[in-house]
Every structure is written in structure tokens, then in C-alpha cells.
Amino acid sequence: MEEYRVKLRRTDELIEQAFERCARLPALAGEAIAAAMDEDKSVDDLATLVGTDQALSARLMRLANSPSLGRPMRVNDLRTAALLVGLDGLRGLLLGSVMHLVTPGGQ
């Protein structure tokens, strides 16, 4: 019975921590999810949204300049980076960034 109570307390703590993380989400998180799920959004629309956040901008630039894309020259602007990564890559970046914020150890 005591083991059950310990597990229940731990579950309650985890749920409380998840709610706290969600409460601290930046305003951009909701906008990022909506934009990523909107099929009418263009690469430019998503690049503009990414450009409003320094951390997202840095992640996009790292992604665009990663060796896996095999670019001979360094990408220096968000629009070019967004075009290289593409819509699916931008959507993944936005959703992944939000998920990083809400999962344990993400902050």
C-alpha cells in the first residue's frame, strides 16, 4: 500500500511540474504551433515567425549551415536558411522547439 502512495505522490508531482512548464511557455509557442499546422503558411511566413525569436533564429541558422545539407557556402540570412530547410523543416523546428519546452528536462 505504501508503495502505491509513493507512486501516486510522484505522479502528482510530475503532473504539477508539467502544468508549471506549460504556464511558462512563451507567447510565441501557441503562435508557432498554429503556424506550423497551417498548410496555407509559406516559407516566408514561417521564416518571419522564426525571426521574432532569437533562439529559434539561431536554431534555424545552425540547421541551415549543418554539414548534412552539404552547402559549400555559409548561409547568413534567415530567408535563405528557411528556403534551404523548407516547409517541413521549418514546421519540425517550430514544433520541436515547443515540445522541448514542455517535456521534462526541456528547460
* CB of 83 closer than 8 Å to CB of 48: no
Q: Which cell is 92 given?
A: 519540425
Percentage helix, strand, coil, to 5, in the chain? Answer: 75, 0, 25
Instruction: For residues 21 and 51, give the distance between their C-alpha atoms in angstroms, rounded to a whole number.
Output: 23
CB atoms within 10 A of CB 64: 21
End-to-end CA distance of the chain: 34
- At 55, list the grid cell: 533562439
Q: Mean pLDDT over all residues of the chain?
A: 79
**For the segment 6-50, what is each residue's pLDDT rounded down to a tens digit?**
777 777 777 776 656 555 556 677 787 788 788 898 888 888 888
Global pTM? Answer: 0.66
